[in-house]
Structure 1
Amino acid sequence: MIVTLSINYSRVSDIIEPDHLILTPSVPVRAYRDSYGNWCSRFVAPTGLITLRGKGVVADSGEPDPFVPWLEERAVDALPNEALLFLLGSRYCETDLLSPIAWELFGTAPTGWGRVQAICDYVHHHIRFGYGHANPTKSAYQVFHDREGVCRDFAHLAVAFCRCMNIPARYCTGYVSDIGEPPPYSEMDFAAWFEAYLGDGWYTFDPRNHKSRIGRILIARGRDAADVALTTTFGPTTLESFKVWTDELTGSEDAMTSGPPPR
């Protein structure tokens, strides 16, 4: 098995309590960085039940995702080399099939941030969310036609549309807290969003939640979900259950590290 469940290197300076991966039964684990810089763990799972768990504490600014509406997109020949990969089609983001549709929908939209926002608006309002619509093989093109999906499907379609419009976009997975959100709170799950390259950097967009959120914790980035699968198995497996939580902790550092598990 290969698992990608560790907090991304971009948040390493914020980690108060490391999110060490604990396996029961205990088996040797080897860790490595993949080609995107994501922290991965590999191990051979024994026959029978195996449990993976971990918790960590991360210091967060408490600020929502940046909102910078004046940023413009860059011409393709002015993009940094490392951004070019995220203009290409990928397993779940078929730019060849969606390009004519994207230009028809967003060709007259404002450029830059406004165009990415128009894409997010479209995806949010035209795709119906529901866990019953989850399908591990569903691609952006299928999402566009089915008009339903989960957060990864929202992200895939938005990523594909951005790339069709020559805006680099990369898929992200991680945790999104309910900090600053009114109750009732939904059952927590791993979340998917994306980042678009505008101006001179990457910026977060979330077509599923469709708003800036506080306490977003990145696990991994890639071209699409195929690059950042939480678990990849080489042999038959069955997921028995899982639980995800991201809670706000307050008080001293001692109280934070000894209190209830934050994730």
Structure 2
Amino acid sequence: MLPGVYSAKRKDGTIYYRSSITYKNKHISLGSYEYEEEAHQAYILAGEVLADSNTYTIEDYPEKSILDFSKWVTLINYRDNGIYIKTPIYLKKKFFLYYIDMNTPLTFDIDDLFYYSTRKIMKRGGHLFVAEYGMQVNILSRYGIKNYGVPGRDYRFINGDDSDYSYNNIEIINKYYGVTRFNTKGQTRYLTKVHVNGYYIIGRYDTEIEAAIAYNKATLLLTNKGLLKDFPKNYIDEIDEITYASMFQKVRISKKFIEYVNSLNID
């Protein structure tokens, strides 16, 4: 068997070849291949990458490489920084880069290293998510951004770089369900809407908390009327239960919306 290669059998009995290399006393699996020579070439290339930091960088990834790009990043990070990470992360001094692909590195604070070193970021339909207990979790949820969040409306990247997920680069504009911040005559106010066969305006409020509570009150009216829709609830950490109950009772909602709720005839 060629160096760095060993054979294995699939469940159907067919043989394939696995490639691996040992570096700094660390046994590193490089991948599985149909042919022994391919596995050997992966071993040779990995050895060249690990041998000298001046030989290859992440940007030098060959167009038709025998190594997976994720493994390429892992090897170079281990070579340069001495820390083996299974996911495609390259460490910097106070942050790290997570490579979705060769042209898409995402920047994260070093505080998030443990989280992303054990989770693969996937991209689908323009959204970035990780797998959590069998569920797809949008990475924006780590910043308190709801799944429906729209960039520029509900949150923004302060430096204009939408690949920079540093905590100090993300500003949350609208953090509650059904609430949108707007400016009128130089003042900041908050608009509350609920979606039921179209959007219904619940009201305009001076504070974000009032607007969030108004949303909860409006959706509770719909639920009590028998509307079978799973409305999300706004959880407000800034106030205690007594204050919440008082504000819930006092907050006013649109008469037009109340008339709509009363007109519903749900069996």
Taking structure 2 as the reference length, the TM-score comes to 0.20
Pick the structure with more strand per residue: 2
Taking structure 1 as the reference length, the TM-score comes to 0.20
Pick the structure with more helix per residue: 2
